[in-house]
Structures are given as C-alpha cells and as structure tokens.
Structure 1
C-alpha cells in the first residue's frame, strides 16, 4: 500500500477528472444547450477548462464565453436546465475510466478500507456512471454537489462523510485532481492526494501543495 495510506481508515474520491474522464459527454451537453439558444458551441477543449465547480457554474462559464458577459439569472437557469436534460440523456456514452482506477478501487476495497465518492456533479448523474463501469458497490457513500448545503471546496461533504462512517477526519484521505479537492481535504482535516491528469482550470494541481501525488491511482495498491 502507498505510504500515504498509513493510518488511513477512509478514502474519499472525486469523480470527474479523478476516476473518469467525463468531458466528452459534458461537452456534448454544453454544446447542445448553447445551440438551443442559437449560440456557438465551445467544443470539448474549452469545456475541459471549465469543469470542476458543478453544472451550474459550468454553464455560467460557457454562457459568459459565448456572449462576452455575465448572463442574467433567468437565462442561466434556462440554459442550465437544458444542459441537465441533454446530459441526462447520455451521461456516460463517451465517458471512460482512467487507467489504474479499477485496480486501485478493487485493491482498496479488498483491503477493507471504506470508500466514499465526493463530487460536485449533481447527485442524479452519479449512479448511472458508477453502474456503467460496475463500481457502484465499491462505495459506502456517494455525495453530489447538491446532496448537502455546501460543496467542495467547502469541507462540509468530507466532514459529513467522516461522521457518517464514524472515522476521525485525521484518518481520512481525499483523492482528487483539482485545487478544490485539495482545499476541501485540507480544511476538513484529511490528508490529500492529487492526480495530475484531470481538470484543474489549466494549472498544475501540484501548486495546491497536496500531501502526495501519484501519476496513476494504481500506485495506491
């Protein structure tokens, strides 16, 4: 087991950019929602830099890029609703697991470590993705961005997960790809581990000074 797992009794994982590359499906839904408004589709490369703060912020960024200014609340709500419809139709058509994810999750589960999923993605989309890859049974608890009053980088989801599983935060590890994951983990009193291959708004996640970094999650086991 990885040295950072010493004394760890709970491992929390981010989803998008950590376990799965979901940008192709997210981008398709963003493009479709903007086309519904007669706006140009930004495409996958630009959407990749906007992911990480939940679907509403994703669409706010997309609309701002398309019209050159902050959208009105009414327009944002309409486009966000359209995005949810489009994404709900195909949340994992082109989404893929990153290399090393399955052996890592299998190994941690077999070692008896409880696993939780803490993502800013709306909770309704978690199950279809986990079921698509046969990973639903690996997690004792799954929290989406709308499961609690606050989401990452707020520490509340991690504190809630630790409390639910009766684990002291100092024995928890947060694994993610972005500064929001590292900030949430640090504020919750968890150790933090980063992967460099995900989405972090175009900046290296190492700048957030996680406690450790692995090129592949397979290194955990």
Structure 2
C-alpha cells in the first residue's frame, strides 16, 4: 500500500508520532493527571476526558485538566507551572498501563527488514521518550528521537520533521510521516511529506479523516 504513495517504491525514511500512533499511553497519562488534580483538592478527570486533551504537549494537557476543558486560556500561569511539575513527577512513576497498538511491531519489523530509516517526532517531553520506547521494546527501531522540548517549537510546526530529514539525509519526496492527529497532519503537510493517519488515536474527539491525510488506516500492518 505504501508503494502507491511513493511511485512504486517504499519511502527511505518513516517518521512516527508516539502517543496515539505507536502507543496507547492515555491510561498512564490519565492516572498522572488525576494524581495531580487530587493533590490539588480537585476531582479527577478520568480516561475519556484526558483522551480528548492529549496531543499538544504536557503543559497544554495540564492546563486543559486545570480548566476542565480544551479551552485553557483562563488558567493562571503560576498555577499551571506548579501543577505541571506535579504531573511530571506522577508520570515519572511508571508506564505499566501503556500498551502497543495492534499491528505496530509487524509494521516496524517490515520497514526494518527493507532498510527503511525510522524516527520519532512527538510532543511528549524528551525525558520520557527513550525510556518509554525502551520499556515497550521499541527503542532499537529508531535512529532519531525528537521530543516536545527538544527544539524551540512543537508540532504542528514542521521543525522536528525538517531536523530529522536533515540528519537522515533524506528529502521530502522520500519521507513519510505517520500520526493520529490534526497536529500531525498539519506538521507533515507543512514539511511537504506524505502523511498516513491512523484512525484509532487521539484527535480531541474529532475524526482524523477530516484533516485530509494522504492515507487513513485502521492498523499499521495493513501498510505492509
């Protein structure tokens, strides 16, 4: 299926989003958010609400939790900073509830067997990216990792994708970005690369098909 996007060939480089694309991390993120909220004397948010809030980095997630809404403009900056530190501490406690999505390992193995370079570009703080990938047995697949605080800007800015392509020495015509959200599709489009979106991830309650990716799949192994 990928060959149809790349003129009968495979891409030379595939860049992946992490949360909602490779890993279902919301259960652990939700547990950390609820720990933070309860520590502030507030009611817990729960998995389903957190699922709609993730995707824009940990600070925005915390601000949405404090606001109880996607719209977090009214949240006090100092309060958000203190809550963010509490969230990071809680999230550092472990990731036992985070699981791989079906089809991920099969697709990564297929790309590896064909010599395709792979990388991760996520808005998750960099300190969590490599340890989480290693814990889930995925770290060895990826040559480059970019977190939400690795560069001065986050997705939907295309800077992470541009940086990875530069490091890999691969141009836009031979690069694929795989993600699950509007931020991912916008970043890929801004970078000028083909974008595959997965239907099962996190997109603030909005079908990712509405973001007009080049291809939409229900599982990554259908791309093999």
Mark yes or no: TM-score above 0.5.
Answer: yes
TM-score range, shorter chain: over 0.9
Are 1:154 and 1:187, in contact at CA under 8 Å, matched by a contact in 2?
A: yes
- Superimposed CA distance per residue, residues 85-137 of structure 1 (whole angstroms, 9 cap, x where no aligned partner): 000111x2100000000000011011100000000000111122211121111
Aligned to 1:182: 185
**Cα 1:205–1:69, aligned 2, differ >3 Å: closer, same or farther?**
closer
Aligned to 1:120: 123
- What runs of 5+ residues in structure 2 fail to find an aligned partner? none
Structural mapping, 1:40-189, within 5 Å? 40-65=43-68, 70-90=74-94, 92-189=95-192
* Aligned CA-pair RMSD: 1.3
Structure 1 residue 71 displacement after superposition: 1.7
**Cα 1:179–1:69, aligned 2, differ >3 Å: closer, same or farther?**
closer
Aligned to 2:24: 21
Structure 1 residue 170 displacement after superposition: 2.2
TM-score, with length taken from structure 2: 0.95
Are 1:15 and 1:119, in contact at CA under 8 Å, matched by a contact in 2?
A: yes
Are 1:60 and 1:70, in contact at CA under 8 Å, matched by a contact in 2?
A: no
Mapped partners of 2:77, 2:160: distance in 1: 26
Query: Would you identify which runs of 4 or more consecutive aligned residues in structure 1 move more than 4 Å?
Result: none
Mapped partners of 2:195, 2:161: distance in 1: 12
Mapped partners of 1:56, 1:8: distance in 2: 33
Secondary structure of 1:173's partner?
strand
- Superimposed CA distance per residue, residues 17-60 of structure 1 (whole angstroms, 9 cap, x where no aligned partner): 00000000000000000111111111111000000000000000
- What runs of 5+ residues in structure 1 fail to find an aligned partner? none
1:38 aligns with 2:17: no
Aligned to 1:4: 5
Structure 1 residue 214 displacement after superposition: 1.3
Greater shift, 193-202 or 125-134, is seen at 125-134
TM-score, with length taken from structure 1: 0.96
